[in-house]
Copies of this chain bind each other. A is one copy, B any other.
């Protein structure tokens, strides 16, 4: 069913049907009625592809993430999608496993589809193909994963990661801990470097030591922390608390602690970051610094939509916007 057929049925021209459809122009009330009836009768639905081809806008956006299996992303994805849907946009989900080749291939595919914009969580430490998107004129929002140098050049959405690290550590200190270790995420991600910087600063502000052995570094994904935790606790002077730079890391650390027969929080307290849904379900429930993942996704989508609309109106991208979310301490039983 297409415009032409509807027009024929209504006995008018295609432009008239088009006009009543998108109501931009005045149409005689009677004609409008006739056309409406024909539309209803035929159950006509416009062809979005043809519209896009004509309008140069596809009403689709691309959400590019490492993997939806990473516990961070389902909530964020919902935030993006809900806002997108409410604004008449549909979202292509692109899992890249942080593989630059996959990212590039997806970007090409999306460009071919005249994608309206990109929301990207990529490692981004060395990703010119991502950053150049904006200079090529594509609306782009970087979420959580980007470099300091991106700020002001690209729209960004993120938590205050330094503060997160500081608050988590400060809380541990306030509750009486003095030997605080860290399960540190990958060094190439600014967000982890920032969380660690906050941790280090809190330690320094309280005159607490930070022996090198107290820093567990990510190897083999989060599972590596299982063995490192065991080593860590075998130290002569083991920590009495562990700041985990993400909840999934905390789950692995707690798992190792359990297997060592150590009690949480009596023997060692554990705090995470994110407040993923499982955080309240593990035993003991995990104290954590929440990230508002859903809201961050929604903010990213809104930021993208703002760019899309601005570009449509003015032909150029608006000045980059930076959105920072505050985080909350959620106290549960993994700390005392």
Contact = CB atoms under 8 A, between A and B. Distances in A.
Contacts of A60: 92
A29 interface: no
Contacts of A252: 281
Given A67-B78, A78-B68, A278-B251, A45 B111 contact: yes
Contact of A68 (B52, B74, B251, B282): B74
A145 interface: no
Given A53-B53, A282-B281, A46 B255 contact: no
Contacts of A281: 251-252, 255, 282
A48 B93 contact: no
Contacts of A82: 95
Interface string A90-133: 11111100000010001011111110000000000000000000
Nearest to A114: B49
| The 3 A-B residue pairs with the shortest CB-CB distance in the complex, in nearest-first order | A48-B112, A93-B93, A251-B281
Given A81-B93, A95-B78, A277-B69, A113 B283 contact: no
A169 interface: no
Chain copies in the assembled complex: 2
Secondary structure at the A interface, as helix, strand, loop or mixed, is helix
A201 to B, nearest CB: 30
A58 to B, nearest CB: 7
Contacts of A110: 90
A75 interface: yes
B278 A113 contact: no
Nearest to A50: B53
A153 interface: no
Interface in A271-309: 277-278, 281-283, 285
A145 B233 CA distance: 46
A220 interface: no
A60 B112 CA distance: 13
A53 B49 contact: yes
Interface in A20-47: 45-47
A254 interface: yes
A319 interface: no
A272 to B, nearest CB: 12
Contacts of A91: 92-93
Contacts of A255: 281, 283, 285
A77 interface: yes
A174 to B, nearest CB: 26
A23 B106 CA distance: 23
Contacts of A230: none
Given A45-B112, A60-B92, 14 more contacts: A45-B108, A48-B112, A49-B49, A49-B52, A67-B74, A68-B78, A69-B78, A73-B74, A74-B74, A81-B95, A91-B92, A252-B281, A255-B285, A281-B282
A258 interface: yes
A53 B67 CA distance: 31
Contact of A75 (B45, B69, B106): B69
A255 B277 CA distance: 13
A140 B74 CA distance: 24
A114 B281 CA distance: 42
A109 B59 CA distance: 11
